Structure 1
């Protein structure tokens, strides 16, 4: 059939790859910023069990998630780091 489209659903041109790479790099920068916030916490907050959970979110869970899901993982980690920061100032 002369007007038949390919079964791949479209092409992945250089702009699509660049957009993916840009989103990937942005998510990685956000992850690094959260890791630096987590490392700046005082020792009292680092002894809290939530600290270990935040590290797991930012490392293991983040790496297992797909790109679209990584934003939700980062939001969860940011919330947990906020809680740890409040605990550190309250202790």
Structure 2
């Protein structure tokens, strides 16, 4: 599945629902993948809401950035090269005919 949409807060009239749409979801790894160029105020608010409303979900996400890895309010952002290394080191089951 690509671009799953999660409603963080709904029925908040007169405002619209607050949603977060991760870039990808990998059922193989059971992880959401969010690639960030810049931490916008909107994204920061959504991540604070996500941590408050569903704290375990943040641990099911990979937040990938181009610059140096860092932590922001409990969220780990990993450099894209480190992310590639994580993927390379994961045990991936192979089909019997490979």
Q: TM-score, normalised by structure 2?
A: 0.23
Higher strand share: 2
The structure having more radius of gyration, on CA atoms, is 1
Relative contact order, higher structure (CA 8 A, sep 6+): 1
Q: TM-score, normalised by structure 1?
A: 0.25
Higher helix share: 1
